[in-house]
Chains A and B, each alone.
Chain A
Amino acid sequence: MKIVLVLSSPPGYSETFFRSKIKGLQAQGHELILVTGPSQRTFDLCKHIKHPKRYRNMLRQLAAMFWVLLGLLPHAAKVYRYWQLERKQQTPAKRILEKIYLNARLLQCQADWLHFGFASMALDRELVAEAIGAKMAVSLRGYDIGVYPLKHPQAYDLLWKKVDKLHSISKDLLQKAYALGLSKNLPYQIISPAVDVDKLAAVKISNRQDKIQLLSVARLNWIKGLDVLIETAYQLKQKGLNFHWKVIGGGTAAENERYAYHIYEKQLKDFISLLGPQSHGQTLARMQKAHLYIQSSYTEGFCNALLEAQAMGKLCVAFNRGGIRENIQDNYSGWLVPEIDAEQLTNQIMQVCALPESQRRQVQQQAQQRVQSQFNLEQQQKAFHQFYTQAL
């Protein structure tokens, strides 16, 4: 089968989940093409095509448009079909012309499947699959479903009508999509992220004498709940816990100021370090040295970092929100805190720190085994093969 994957940018080398998905599909004999926005980077595992650029300069834009439309001449039938489909939706002619330009690379493709990596990636492209005679698949991710529709409640109406099959990284996101108007009759498959367990070696760390090392991987975006994290650190300090909390993740200048000021206000400079963005390798190295992994997010689609932390045998604590409740099995592979609340999170961390060694080891082992058996790359590869080949 020929599968065209549409993403905003090419995935980095460290995105094992995505790379393994591609490798797995290729091993099963599928042909993959990646289409992304204009990017400096080029993806190495399969053919990589980039959408045409948008230019501010009118003349450059007109020249680019002419060139791109010229390239569409051999695909006139598909373009005509696309035009008709858009007209049926009452799209004005000028807008259709813009859309033809933006979707030119997709209209040139011949494919069995057109798979959008995010629901928001499919906006303004809902009719392309039908025009090129391909089936349309969409993956649901956290921001796409949890936040974007808050501002644009009707954004996915057309998409829900046109999509042929849905991939969700968690049951939670699927339920949220239903609440947003997705038909319950639409075929779907839940394929959670997976990790390469063999590469995530667990290191035994004793925290009897040392300072307790806490780690969180969280961009400095509000959805990661860093104000709650800082408040929790403050309460842990009040309770006399000897700890240091590292937070990996970048943010805008305003986001950095927001959390740096909270840390300054609470006099926690010696207790929390905002490390900024780190490579996947650096993140894993930091994770190895941590005793506890904490996810303070208000919600997550699923959360890869949390899965990696469990695979490494870290004691994980997170809020019982969104896809996290599928990621951690409460009191078995980690701990779920019922509400987004610093006091509850503080108490849970204190409890985990006070657990006897044997119990901690038991949870660590259970977490590792659970990730190994339920979230491994082989299963994921099989699931994706099934996703495209199973009859609709």
Chain B
Amino acid sequence: MKIFLFDGSYATTAFIRRLLAGLVQAGIEVSVIGFNETNPHPVPGVKYQPLGSNQSKRRLLQTSWNYAWQKFSWTTFKNTLKHSLRGNRQALQQQNLAFVLAKHQPDVLHVQWPSLLSWLAPYREQRQFKLLLSQRGFHINVRPFVNAENFAYLQEWYPQLDGIHSVSQAIQRVGAQIGRPHTEVEAVVYTGLALEDFAFREKRPNSETLELISVGRSHWIKDYPMALRACKLLKERGLSFRYQIIGAAEDEECLYLRQAFGLEEQVCLLPRVPIEEVKALVQAADFMLLPSIEEGLANVAVEAMALGTPVISTRCGGMAELITHQENGWLVPTRDALALANQIEQVAAIDNATYAQVAQAARKKVEKQHQEEQMIHGMLALYQQLL
């Protein structure tokens, strides 16, 4: 079986890297196609097929002419020359994609983001490979519902797909509002962790100052402003706490609200840091906050729970499939600072035994639902179902 993964870039996210490594281990031939030429951190055993750089014109031309030379046909030379002279990046990349697909003939092309489907327009109705789309988050549960054009576009595409992978049942239900694949092959495969890399550490919550943490890119969907409003309420109630947001150091809105709410002492906005450092910071915190408006199923929450840091999350997307309220974490309504503040205040008062119980239940949930092997087997089964 030959799998091609299309993520747009070689620098795929951590969970896609884990999937790649697992597939290689399972003896599958895996390639990643992307708009790059070089990859500083390749996954061993994975082949990387360039489609022409988005950053460098020189590298784009090199790749394009290399493929044209390999193909050695008059039409290809003519088109490559035409697009090169006109500086038509997209046409060159499209031609490169066609070459790569024709040369390597993958069995399955696994597209990670719906925005990449536009590159596959020439293969929408007829193709030699099976087309699988992953439904992960924002591009499915937000964009189509505020952009009628995008919704209509996806609605045309969905019946042409051979299969759909969803990261949670919730996002599968949302996706079903857009459409279904003609094969009706759909599967929820949860993200998987190499649990040996996420060692559980039993701990007691800090008795004097409550340590809270959030991790994630600075984007409105994460709704950090709501968490800061909750912090304002907690400060007014006299709770002693510290809240770190990793990845929000440059976020003007967070910087402004921190100052406006007088939270300079309590809230620390940190830049993005390497994964090992993130793990250490998450493990040092008492609770993780996930104030998001929407999520497919947040990987950071899965990781925090594996590490032994319970999560207080909004009840968005697939979060309720991971967290059972008061059993292995806590759920609050979205966009509700008061509810979040109340929940934080409540968990600040729980005893050590309850804390340990919740943390252990959280770890167990991850062990049960988010093992790396489960993810690999789940994806393999889905690929096989397509064929």
Contacts of B220 in A (CB 8 A): 222, 254, 258
State whether A264 touches B146 (Cβ < 8 A). yes
Interface residue from A223, A257, A299 paired with B142 (Cβ < 8 Å) = A257
Interface residue from B143, B145, B259 paired with A150 (Cβ < 8 Å) = B259
State whether A298 touches B260 (Cβ < 8 A). yes
Contacts of A147 in B (CB 8 A): 252, 255-256
- Does B225 count as interface, using CB distance less than 8 angstroms? yes
Interface string of B203-238 (1 = CB under 8 A from A): 000000000000000011100010000000000000
Cα of A223 to Cα of B250 in the assembled complex, Å: 15
Interface string of B301-345 (1 = CB under 8 A from A): 000000000000000000000000000000000010000000000
- Does B366 count as interface, using CB distance less than 8 angstroms? no
Known: A254-B220, A298-B260. A260 touches B146 (CB 8 A): yes
Interface residue from A151, A262, A340 paired with B255 (Cβ < 8 Å) = A151
State whether B225 touches A257 (Cβ < 8 A). no
- Does B55 count as interface, using CB distance less than 8 angstroms? no
Interface SS majority for chain B: helix
- Does A231 count as interface, using CB distance less than 8 angstroms? yes
State whether B147 touches A257 (Cβ < 8 A). yes
- Closest A residue, CB atoms, query B253: A222
Cα of A150 to Cα of B253 in the assembled complex, Å: 10
- Does B111 count as interface, using CB distance less than 8 angstroms? no
- Does A330 count as interface, using CB distance less than 8 angstroms? no
- Does B376 count as interface, using CB distance less than 8 angstroms? no
Q: List which B132-147 residues lie within 8 A (CB) of chain A.
A: 142-143, 145-147
- Does B293 count as interface, using CB distance less than 8 angstroms? yes
Contacts of B143 in A (CB 8 A): 257
> How many interface contacts (CB-CB < 8 Å) are there between A and B?
47
Tell me how far the C-beta of A150 lies from the nearest C-beta in chain B, rounded to whole angstroms: 4
Cα of A349 to Cα of B220 in the assembled complex, Å: 27
Interface SS majority for chain A: helix
Cα of A151 to Cα of B142 in the assembled complex, Å: 30
State whether B252 touches A261 (Cβ < 8 A). no
State whether B255 touches A261 (Cβ < 8 A). no
Interface residue from B252, B259, B294 paired with A222 (Cβ < 8 Å) = B252
Interface string of A146-173 (1 = CB under 8 A from B): 1100110000000000000000000000
State whether A151 touches B256 (Cβ < 8 A). no
Tell me how far the C-beta of A247 lies from the nearest C-beta in chain B, rounded to whole angstroms: 15
Cα of A205 to Cα of B156 in the assembled complex, Å: 47
Cα of A50 to Cα of B120 in the assembled complex, Å: 45
Interface string of B250-293 (1 = CB under 8 A from A): 10110111011000000000000000000000000000000001
- Does A227 count as interface, using CB distance less than 8 angstroms? yes
Q: List which A255-278 residues lie within 8 A (CB) of chain B.
A: 256-258, 260-262, 264-265
Cα of A227 to Cα of B223 in the assembled complex, Å: 10
Cα of A261 to Cα of B334 in the assembled complex, Å: 13
State whether B256 touches A146 (Cβ < 8 A). yes
Interface residue from B146, B225, B253, B257 paired with A261 (Cβ < 8 Å) = B146
Contacts of B250 in A (CB 8 A): 151
Tell me how far the C-beta of B339 lies from the nearest C-beta in chain A, rounded to whole angstroms: 14
Q: List which A223-281 residues lie within 8 A (CB) of chain B.
A: 223, 227, 231, 254, 256-258, 260-262, 264-265
Interface residue from A222, A257, A299 paired with B146 (Cβ < 8 Å) = A257
Cα of A382 to Cα of B220 in the assembled complex, Å: 45
State whether A261 touches B335 (Cβ < 8 A). no
State whether B335 touches A231 (Cβ < 8 A). yes
Tell me how far the C-beta of A312 lies from the nearest C-beta in chain B, rounded to whole angstroms: 30
Tell me how far the C-beta of B118 lies from the nearest C-beta in chain A, rounded to whole angstroms: 16
Contacts of B293 in A (CB 8 A): 261, 265
State whether B256 touches A261 (Cβ < 8 A). no
Cα of A257 to Cα of B220 in the assembled complex, Å: 9
Cα of A261 to Cα of B260 in the assembled complex, Å: 26
A residues near B (Cβ < 8 Å) are 146-147, 150-151, 222-223, 227, 231, 254, 256-258, 260-262, 264-265, 298-299, 340
B residues near A (Cβ < 8 Å) are 142-143, 145-147, 219-221, 225, 250, 252-253, 255-257, 259-260, 293-294, 335
25 of the cross-chain contacts (CB-CB < 8 Å) are: A147-B252, A147-B255, A150-B255, A151-B250, A151-B252, A222-B220, A222-B225, A222-B252, A222-B256, A223-B253, A223-B256, A231-B335, A256-B146, A257-B142, A257-B146, A257-B147, A258-B220, A260-B147, A261-B142, A261-B293, A261-B294, A262-B335, A264-B145, A299-B256, A299-B260
By Cβ-Cβ distance, the 7 closest A-B pairs, closest first, are A260-B146, A150-B255, A222-B253, A258-B220, A261-B146, A261-B142, A257-B146
